[in-house]
Amino acid sequence: MRTHHCAMLLATVTLLALTGCAEEPEADAGPTPVATAPSASAAGPTDASGVPPEPTGEKRVIYLATLTGIDPGIVNGDEEQAISRGRDQCTAMKDEKDPTRRVAQVERRFTGPGHPNGFGPTKSALILATVQANICPTY
């Protein structure tokens, strides 16, 4: 039964990620600097230190809802902390290509009152997929 729930959750995360990708051009239509200079688009949507911007609008809602769907203790009423941890994870994994190490990073970074040692490898993999889909899809 747990495998069924994990598979269903992973399918939901994937669907939300694909939906989020389809909505991205509309969200980017407002800012003008990105469309003007090829060097700006080559640098990507991160600042000089490699930290991606906070998700906004629908991306933010999807990110937080998906994390809550994985386990309510991940967000635990502190949306800003969940977003900050996701952005930090993007920065940490930018140069880390090993998926096992990325999941281990998530397990150390995303903790909660009932989960001081993280949420385990399965939930951490789902958290990682959510972070990548909604905050730093190019990492």
State the DSSP code for 52: P
Mean pLDDT of the chain: 76
Residue 139 falls inside a structural domain: no
Quick check: 89 and 131 in contact, CB under 8 A? yes
Residue 48 falls inside a structural domain: yes
β-partners of residue 112 are 115
Question: What's the CA gap between 127 and 17, in Å, rounded?
Answer: 12
Residue 61 falls inside a structural domain: yes
pLDDT per residue over 5-39, tens digit each?
Answer: 444 455 454 444 444 444 444 444 433 333 222 22
Q: Which domain holds residue 97?
A: 2-134
- Count of the separate structural domains present in the chain: 1
Residue 18 falls inside a structural domain: yes
14, two tokens:
């994937």
| Helix then strand then coil, % of the chain, to nearest 5 | 70, 0, 30
